[in-house]
Amino acid sequence: MSSYLDMELLRFSTAGSVDDGKSTLIGRLLYDSKSIFEDQYEAIEQTSKKKGDEHVNLALLTDGLRSEREQGITIDVAYRYFATPKRKFIIADTPGHIQYTRNMVTGASTSNLSIILIDARKGIIEQTHRHTFIASLLGIPHVVFCINKMDLVDYSEETFEKIKKEVEAFASKLDVKDIHFIPISALKGDNVVNKSENMDWYKGSTLLYLLENIHIGSDHNHIDCRFPVQSVIRPHSDEFHDYRGYAGRIAGGVFKKGDKVIALPSGFSSKIKSIDTMDGELQEAYAPMSVSMTLEDEIDISRGDMIVRENNQPNVSQDVDVMICWLNDKPLQAGGKYAVKHTTNDARCIIKDVRYKIDINTLHRNEEDKNIGMNDIGRIAIRTTKPLYFDSYRRNRNTGSLIIIDEATHETVGAGMILT
């Protein structure tokens, strides 16, 4: 009971190309950690029998919508949940198809950790490069490479080490902070939840042990104080007649009562009078807490403004360079106008320049081909109609990310990571 109230939350995503065993791995994690219900198990047992499968196909557990069932593939991000006494896990299950970079980016955007699957028989393939690159681009703090189907390569240490070396060589060129390698068999269960009896040579931890113990306390920025204001709370009641609280979710840093702060864009300064929640006042608040703040002085602050510490301010600019991942069939229009959402701020922007497009397999920067279409990633320069208050994405995922919206269809067409 008390342990339950100490549990942490870890969000992770999975990537791998088709048939690398992603669904089987997730099914295995759920099954071996006893997160599968009887009726769910019975349903997949029946389906497996109907299909003439030899084993109960654990992959069916994560198989979602009907059209996908018919095609036998996963085509979107699906979320899965399980818990152990230590942590609750949210899995963003994303597909491995070439055309679905968009989904991996979506699933990875909120992850603390990414699991990238590699088929031990095939070793590194084009998709491995792509998945690793996306994980690094999205600033996922921890990346775990699971070398799967070890049972099909006689649990060979040599095979594992060879793949590990190749990945390390490749990943050293990328900005991945924390890398792990685990040899597994998702089908047989080796090193997923239970330690493998077939791989004495592997001295590391199982996947579940790693997921339960990896240090995530530093995944949020606790240095640069950023508080994007969502709305202003004005009760207009007798009891709280003059109450004016700024509601929002802390995007970075640790705010304390009495801190000297300034509000952007006005630049007016004040002190934090109180940090409130319905459960009472807090002495300090940090990301990702939702609170309401009151200030000593009455200054004009509304949604989209940002409260920051006086001595540590974000960049303020209308000209922003962004690494963009394009998510729509209709390509990016150079010179085109779009709506932008950044923290709680809304603006419009014009695409001033496409600097280059990245070949996500070779990481080559192509300055000739500037057509950014569905699933492409490239660097662009935008000018916004009003200043944004931002940090680089590397420094803070909350204040360094933005989305671009087509003003005609209202669809989210681009995911942007701010460079400068």
Ligand X SMILES: Nc1nc2c(ncn2[C@@H]2O[C@H](COP(=O)(O)OP(=O)(O)O)[C@@H](O)[C@H]2O)c(=O)[nH]1
Nearer to another protein, 145 or 338 (CB): 338
Burial 154-193 (b: 16+ CB within 10 A, else e): ebeeebbeebbeebeebbeeeebeebbbbbbbbbbbbbbb
Residue 77 binding partner per list ligand X, another protein, none, with a CB distance cut-off of 5 to 8 Å that depends on partner kind: another protein
CB of residue 168 to another protein, shortest distance in Å: 29
Nearer to ligand X, 80 or 256 (CB): 80
CB of residue 317 to another protein, shortest distance in Å: 19
Judged by DSSP in three states, 150 sits in helix
Nearest alpha carbon to residue 303 among 237, 227, 252, 397: 227
Element (H, E) at 51: helix 38-51
Q: How does strand 345-358 pair with strand 78-83? A: unpaired
Q: Which residues bind ligand X (CB under 6 A)?
A: 16, 18-24, 59, 96, 148-149, 151-152, 185-187
CB of residue 93 to another protein, shortest distance in Å: 8
Residue 67 binding partner per list another protein, ligand X, none, with a CB distance cut-off of 5 to 8 Å that depends on partner kind: another protein
Residue 309 binding partner per list ligand X, another protein, none, with a CB distance cut-off of 5 to 8 Å that depends on partner kind: none
Question: In one letter, which amino acid is 306?
Answer: M
How many other C-beta atoms can be found within 10 angstroms of the C-beta atom of residue 357? 24
Burial 313-328 (b: 16+ CB within 10 A, else e): bbeeeeebbbbbbbbb
Q: What one-character-per-residue DSSP string does 223-247 give?
A: SS-EEEEEEEE---SSTTTT--EEE
CB of residue 277 to ligand X, shortest distance in Å: 42
Nearer to another protein, 39 or 197 (CB): 39
Spatial distance between the Cα atoms of 183 and 159, rounded to a whole number of angstroms: 10
Nearer to another protein, 169 or 223 (CB): 223
Nearer to another protein, 279 or 300 (CB): 279
Backbone angles phi and psi of 134, in degrees to 5: -65, -40
- In sequence order, the 6+-apart residues with CB closer than 8 A to the CB of 135 are 15, 108, 114, 116, 143, 176
Cα angle for residues 84, 88, 89 (degrees, 5° grid): 105
Nearer to ligand X, 97 or 355 (CB): 97
Bridge partner list, 252: 226
CB of residue 19 to ligand X, shortest distance in Å: 4
Residue 19 binding partner per list another protein, ligand X, none, with a CB distance cut-off of 5 to 8 Å that depends on partner kind: ligand X
Nearer to ligand X, 20 or 305 (CB): 20
Residue 316 binding partner per list another protein, ligand X, none, with a CB distance cut-off of 5 to 8 Å that depends on partner kind: none
Residue 141 binding partner per list ligand X, another protein, none, with a CB distance cut-off of 5 to 8 Å that depends on partner kind: none
Residue 348 binding partner per list ligand X, another protein, none, with a CB distance cut-off of 5 to 8 Å that depends on partner kind: none
CB of residue 73 to another protein, shortest distance in Å: 13
CB of residue 250 to another protein, shortest distance in Å: 9
Nearer to ligand X, 96 or 314 (CB): 96
Residue 22 binding partner per list another protein, ligand X, none, with a CB distance cut-off of 5 to 8 Å that depends on partner kind: ligand X
Strands, DSSP E only, in 3-48? 8-15
CB of residue 341 to another protein, shortest distance in Å: 5
